[in-house]
Amino acid sequence: MKKFINQVDDVLAESLTGFASAHANIVSLNLEPHFLTRRHKAENKVAIISGGGSGHEPLHGGYIGYGMLDAACPGHVFTSPSPDQMLAAAEAVHAGKGVLFIVKNYAGDVMNFEMAAEMLPFESATVLTSDDVAVENSTYTTGRRGVAGTVIVEKVVGSLAETGADLAACKALGDKVNSRTASMGVALTSCTVPAAGRPTFDIGDTELEMGVGIHGEPGRRREPMRNADAIVADMVAAILEDLKPAAGSEVLLLVNGFAATPLMELYLLYNSAAKLLQDKGLNVTRSLVGNYITALDMAGASITICLLDDEIRQHWDSPVHTAALRWQR
């Protein structure tokens, strides 16, 4: 394992400190317990808090700021944060209108946020993101994972919250975006958890892992490596089979890198996916390409499609000012 680190135990604190100091005009860092908030507390709005294991940067800290999150709770690498972090973060950013937790659907995250919500002295609600179609959904199981669609949920709900909408409305919009969003991921290499010091899985030079999440866990299938168009076709098919969009539907297309795949390849994947969607009669009107939710140093990418409607499009387009996502229209 070659990584730019000092001590394995200090990676998180040092990286967070660097993040907070590089973006001191946007965020503030609290160290005991770990949480990040906006530099200037927002008033008169639902406080939007997310969090989860670290190693997915820029998620979630990079999405703190106007139009998106009020606070984020980073856990250890790939490990859910603990309820004391959520409680302290909520204490810091609650502005009288309740707290909305945006939580990726993993047993650990769900339970830790749930316990925090139970202990919270404020009104709260939770949006669980579960956009990963690699995992079959069922009421008897943990259900689908939350992956790159989480960024879209955070952006859209963050925008609504900025208008002063109440907790129920924010929760409802979050659930709606989640239900209209589906993702599929593919890995070309494993990642290496710093504390483990070796790749989570071994993979050959002619293989890929189809249907991976964002924690270096093996995917649904080990498959032979093939060209980009063929990979994209399989991913898009899985997504569309889930979303079943009507012909002519307007969609947002997000091609997300897991960290070690260069932009040149991500844009090539975008090109391939956008053409395919067009051929299938869909209308790609919004897009995002880059490393938005990563898996440490994994090479690979995910494709996410969100079915837009006027409300979602409007909140996607509205201004956002965070470390990792920023626009003004």
Partner 1 sequence: MRTEFILEAITAVNDVILHSETELESLDREIGDGDHFINLKRGCTTLLAMRDELASLPPADVLQRIGMKLLSTIGGASGPLIATFFMIMAKVEKAGDISSLSEIAAAFNASVEGIKQRGKANAGEKTMLDTLIPVAETFNRLAAANATPLEIFNAIQQTAEQGMLSTRDMIATKGRAAFLGERAIGHIDPGARSSQIIIHTICELAKQHHTA
Q: Strand 47-54 relative to strand 283-290: parallel, antiparallel, unpaired?
A: unpaired
Q: Minimum Å distance from CB 314 to a copy of itself?
A: 16
Name residues whose C-beta falls within 8 Å of residue 118's C-beta, 6 or more positions apart in sequence: none
> Do residues 103 and 127 lie in contact, with contact meaning Cβ atoms separated by under 8 Å?
yes
Please choose which of partner 1, a copy of itself, ligand ADP, none residue 272 contacts, taking the beta carbon within 5 to 8 angstroms, the exact cut-off set by kind.
a copy of itself
- Select the residue interacting with partner 1 from 28, 33, 250, 271 (CB under 8 A): 33
Specify the stretch interacting with a copy of itself by CB under 8 A; choose among 12-20, 124-132, 140-148, 236-244.
12-20
Instruction: Give the residue with the Cβ less far from a copy of itself, 126 or 192.
Output: 192
Q: C-beta of 108: minimal distance to Mg ion in Å?
A: 6
Q: Which does 217 bind (CB under 5 to 8 A by kind): ligand ADP, partner 1, a copy of itself, none?
A: partner 1
Q: Is residue 78 at the binding interface for Mg ion, with CB under 5 A as the rule?
A: yes
**C-alpha to C-alpha distance for 172 and 312, rounded to whole angstroms:** 12
11 binds a copy of itself (CB under 8 A): yes
Nearer CB in complex with a copy of itself: 61/174: 61
Among 15, 79, 130, 190, binds Mg ion (CB under 5 A): 79
How many angstroms separate the first and last alpha carbons of the chain?
43
Among 138, 139, 141, 328, binds a copy of itself (CB under 8 A): 328
Write down the least CB distance from residue 190 to ligand ADP, Å: 16
Angle between helices 149-162 and 310-317 (to 10 degrees): 80
User: How far is residue 210's CA from residue 189's CA, in Å, rounded to a whole number?
Assistant: 11
Q: Which residues are catalytic?
A: 56, 215
Of 172 and 268, the one with the shorter C-beta distance to a copy of itself is 268
- List of residues contacting ligand ADP (CB under 6 A): 79-80, 107-108
Task: Tell me the two tokens of residue 43.
Answer: 């008033």
Residue 136 within binding range of partner 1, rule CB under 8 A: yes
What type of residue sits at position 150?
T
Q: Does 159 bind a copy of itself (CB under 8 A)?
A: no
Query: How far apart are the C-alpha atoms of 216 and 201, rounded to whole Å?
Result: 7
The alpha helices in 180-262, defined as continuous H runs, are: 228-243
Three-state secondary structure readout of 45-73 = CCEEEEEEEECCCCCCHHHEEECCECEEE
Please report whether residue 16 would count as binding a copy of itself according to CB under 8 A: yes
Phi and psi of 127, rounded to 5°? -105, 120
Of these, 26, 53, 238, 252, which contacts partner 1 (CB under 8 A)? 53
Task: Assign 292 to helix, strand or coil.
Answer: coil
In whole angstroms, the minimum distance from the beta carbon of 111 to ligand ADP comes to 7
Q: Which amino acid is at 261?
A: T
| Backbone φ and ψ of 29, nearest 5° | -110, 135
Positions that interact with partner 1 (CB under 8 A): 33, 53, 75-85, 106-108, 111-112, 114-115, 134-136, 138, 140-142, 145, 193, 195-196, 200-201, 213, 215-218, 220
